[in-house]
Structure 1
């Protein structure tokens, strides 16, 4: 995920708010990356807070976009939750390629501003690309 804005999506399938936000994030991602003529420098990484690997797999199959996911048994899941102070889910923490936080209010921004928030993230990350 070098030279990309990364959105860390902390969520769980058992969480109604996570299930509610996932389709919106899917559309956001699809418009920026999957369906775009020139894919934006953006990646979503799902960081599961599910209780089991099966719950995680069910959630990813049912509601997730074509984005990355940390394996359930990867210790980085816990490390990221600690590093970014995740105490409630869902959370969408948007970071620079260095891991520095651009915003921990990504979910709210996507809901309220849609694709318009992405340009702010790119500018904050100092990643430049022509998106026309």
Structure 2
């Protein structure tokens, strides 16, 4: 596993005592590009003031160049699995039944698809699954934030009148 600058990271130290999010995503995927900024805000919120969550980006990109671009411009806060470790990424896709279409399914040799991308799997610090569809937790958090902001704006408008 590497950090946003490509430097290797001691996984045991980085993940110790933290909730872990596995984020399956790709630059070419419009829903992924929409969800990633929301996940980024969620990550910042959950980790303020104390870091409680570590996200590992698992690329579904078509090549290393796409993955590196996506990491640099969108996933720069998170850990990632380097593109050269395709075997590990495929094992995780197979384990969580998450992939991006028929080509991925054929390469993985499986056909019981559970999740498309983006998928955000939440794990306890011990590695047990909290929620295989953690993206719904993130979306729920986002909707609460939007609603709170609307209420704040309405309150400000009432106070101005």
Which range, TM-score by smaller chain? 0.7 to 0.9
Map 1:36-55; keep pairs closer than 5 Å: 36-37=48-49, 39-55=50-66
The TM-score with structure 1 as length reference comes to: 0.78
Q: Work out which of the two has the higher radius of gyration on C-alpha atoms and give 1 or 2.
A: 2
Measured on the aligned residues, the alpha-carbon RMSD in Å equals 1.7
Larger RCO (CA under 8 A, 6+ residues apart): 1
- Equivalent residue in structure 2 for 1:64, among 75, 78, 81: 75
Large movers: runs of 4+ above 3 Å: none
By how many angstroms is 1:65 displaced?
A: 4.2
Distance in 2 of aligned mates of 1:65 and 1:44 = 11
**Alignment deviations for residues 47-91 of structure 1 (CA, whole Å, 9 cap, x no partner):** 000010100011112222411011111121111111111131110
SS in 2 for 1:9: strand
Aligned length: 113
Does the alignment pair 1:76 with 2:58?
Answer: no
| The structure with more helix, counted as a fraction of residues | 2
Structure 1: which 5+ runs fail to align?
Answer: 117-132
Structure 2: which 5+ runs fail to align?
Answer: 1-14, 100-115, 145-161
